[in-house]
Amino acid sequence: MPDLLRTLLDRSSVGPRHLTGPAPERDEFLLVATAAAAAPDHASLGPFRLIHIADATRERLADVFAAAALEAEPDADTKTIDKARERALAGPGLLAVVVDLKEHPNVPAEEQWVCAGAALQNTLLALEDLGYRAKMLSGARVRSKALRSAFDLDENAHLLGFIAVGRHQGEVRRAPRRLPEQVLSEWTPQEA
């Protein structure tokens, strides 16, 4: 089987609690970003961005996650807030994923979302090819005022979520996949 297809079929998300360090180095993240930029992109609008959350800024992100939790539930107890904070601190490496929708006469928003999806997949595959495991995570908090403001998003920008990345030893728990026959069918022309 060709190497790329093998990497693609082996890809499997691993959650931050099961990841260990080290996180990718900057040059590896740059390679990953190069892979993301290789996604099909009608009119080269570049609707996808990755933002690295450095270790030194994780606590600041935890504060923002706590603020988002309070925004959703103003009476949230300490346990809920602590859990929200932990989500920002889990996983050796963390990337925020932002989709910037542009106005274009020939490229509707749905095409730009598809471009972002392809860029996300390239990102995950590149991380796996470099020997890491990763998982894309979102949650309602990504639409919170606290997070939108922390990432300085304008009205056309969406925080898709976060990619946790690190090393993983041993077996992975594989998500079910559909059979090829469930994905591929033959077109039957409809009678006029």
Ligand X SMILES: Cc1cc2nc3c(=O)[nH]c(=O)nc-3n(C[C@H](O)[C@H](O)[C@H](O)COP(=O)(O)O)c2cc1C
Q: Is 62 in the site for ligand X (CB under 6 A)?
A: no
User: Least separation, in Å, of the C-beta of 191 and ligand X?
Assistant: 38
- Rule CB under 6 A: choose which of 33, 98, 137, 146 binds ligand X: 137
CB of 12 to ligand X, least distance (A): 4
Work out how close the CB of 135 gets to ligand X at its nearest, in angstroms, rounded to a whole number.
5
Residue labelled with tokens 């990755």: 50
Binding mask 147-166 for ligand X (x = CB under 6 A): -------------xx-----
- Neighbouring-strand partners of residue 137: 162
As a whole number of angstroms, the distance between CA 110 and CA 80 comes to 35
Distance CA 192, CA 189 (A): 9
The binder of ligand X chosen from 72, 139, 151, 167 (CB under 6 A): 139
The minimum distance between CB 141 and ligand X, in angstroms, equals 9
Q: How many residues does the chain have?
A: 192
Beta carbons within 10 angstroms of residue 172's beta carbon: 13
12 is a site residue for ligand X (CB under 6 A): yes
Amino acid of residue 133: R
Nearest residue (CB) to ligand X, 75 versus 110? 110
CA–CA distance, 110 with 123 (Å, rounded to integer): 20
Q: In sequence order, what are the residues at sequence separation of 6 or more whose Cβ sits closer than 8 angstroms to the Cβ of residue 97?
A: 48, 49, 50, 51, 116, 120, 123, 136, 159, 160, 161, 162, 163
Tokens at 98, concatenated? 């932002």
Q: In this structure, are residues 187 and 162 in contact, taking their beta carbons and an 8 Å threshold?
A: no
Restricting to residues 163-192, name those near ligand X by CB under 6 A. Answer: 175
Nearer of residues 23 and 159 to ligand X, judged by Cβ = 159
Whichever of 66 and 97 has its CB closer to ligand X, that residue is 97
- Does the footprint of ligand X cover residue 118 (CB under 6 A)? no
Nearest CB to ligand X, comparing residues 14 and 66 = 14
Stretch of 36-44, 53-61, 135-143, 146-154 lying at the interface with ligand X (CB under 6 A): 135-143
DSSP state of 167: B
Which residues are near ligand X by CB under 6 A? Answer: 12-13, 135-139, 160-161, 175
